[in-house]
Amino acid sequence: MGATENIILASVYAEGVTNITNAAREPEIADLATCLNKMGAKIEGAGTSNIQITGVKKLKDISYNIMPDRIEAGSLLCMTAVTGGKIKLNNVIPEHINPVINKLEECGCKIKKEKRAILLEAPRRLKAVDIKTMPYPGFPTDMQSVFASILTVAKGTSIVIENIFENRFRFMAELKKMGAKITIEGKTAVIKGTRKLSGTKVVSTDLRGGAALVTAGLVSKGKTEITNIEYILRGYEGLDKKLRNLGANIKIKEGE
């Protein structure tokens, strides 16, 4: 997705026509193109695998509301699900995270979709499911870590297959410190659900892996301390405040 966005941005002022084949199809691509077109760019096909950009001389100033963050939305749904809670999530576009919603329903969650909101009610304990990451509109790789985290306490055995990025399983070593039962072979992780995790000191290895540790901490017995939180803060604005509003006992230490 980042590569497609960068090529679009580089091509807006380029002389002539630029064609991108095998382009990423994520909603963020279409949203970027919509914004740029309102500024005066000439971009066609954004949201499909073929995008055409005709270079222009200049862009104009505009006011634009960006799309809701689908990964933050999915993360908050998972955090609610693992704690057995209820949530109404506003300012979300449900179709952007349909694969996540479908898997949460497989886990036993009751979900109602509205035009710009999602209502989720979690069961007392989640059920194990299998997931595999795929390019959009498949299950997003950015949701793999958080979803794997909730599967560590689900009833049964889950299989997680990462098809997009290498080294996406580094956070699982930290989950194992908390009592998660995980075995990894190549791009496949087998997660045997346990009834409880235990809080301890863990290290955030990356943005989504850090969010996975927060998720695990919410349902762990005792205190969980996460370091390297700059990764998490880079991708989740005011996450601690939002979780406190939902009833979590979470705070950022001074200087962290």
* First-residue to last-residue Cα distance in the chain: 30
- For 147-209, the DSSP string reads HHHHHTTSBSEEEEE--S-TTTTTHHHHHHHTT-EEEEETTEEEEE--S--B--EEE--SHHH
- Euclidean distance between CA atoms 17 and 103, whole angstroms: 41
Confidence of residue 254 (pLDDT cuts 50, 70, 90): confident
The percentage of the chain sitting over the pLDDT mark of 70, rounded to a whole number, equals 99
> What burial class does residue 137 get, using C-beta atoms within 10 Å of its C-beta: 0-12 exposed, 13-18 middle, 19+ buried?
middle
Q: What is the pLDDT of residue 30?
A: 98
Give the pLDDT score at 255. Answer: 65
Tell me the CB-side half-sphere exposure of residue 159, using CA atoms within 13 A.
7
pTM score, whole prediction: 0.95
* Partner residues linked to 87 by β-bridges: 120
Mean local confidence (pLDDT), 132-145 = 97
Mean pLDDT across 135-140: 96
61: Cα separation from own chain's centroid: 31
Q: What is the pLDDT of residue 50?
A: 98
149-183 tens-digit pLDDT: 999 999 999 999 999 998 899 999 999 999 999 99
Whether 256 has a pLDDT exceeding 90, the answer reads no
Q: DSSP letter string over 81-102?
A: HHTT-EEEEES--GGGGHHHHH
User: Is pLDDT of 184 > 60?
Assistant: yes
Q: What is the mean pLDDT of residues 78-102?
A: 97
Q: Please state, in angstroms and rounded to a whole number, the distance separating the CA atoms of residues 94 and 70.
A: 8
Please check the confidence at residue 19 and state whether its pLDDT lies above 80: yes
Instruction: Determine the average pLDDT of the residues in 83-99.
Output: 97
For 98-133, how does the pLDDT look when each residue is reduced to its tens digit (9 = 90+)?
Answer: 999 999 999 999 999 999 999 999 999 999 999 999
Q: How far apart are CA 125 and CA 114, in angstroms?
A: 25
Rounded distance, CA 244 to CA 254, Å?
17
Domains, the chain, ranges and CATH?
2-54 (no CATH), 70-245 (3.65.10.10)
Q: What average pLDDT does this structure show over 245-250?
A: 96
Residue 168, by phi and psi: left (phi above 0), alpha (psi -120 to 50) or beta?
Answer: alpha
Q: What is the pLDDT of residue 82?
A: 98
Q: Token pair for residue 99? A: 């694969």
Q: How does pLDDT run across 42-83, given as a tens digit for each residue?
A: 999 999 999 999 999 999 999 999 999 999 999 999 999 999
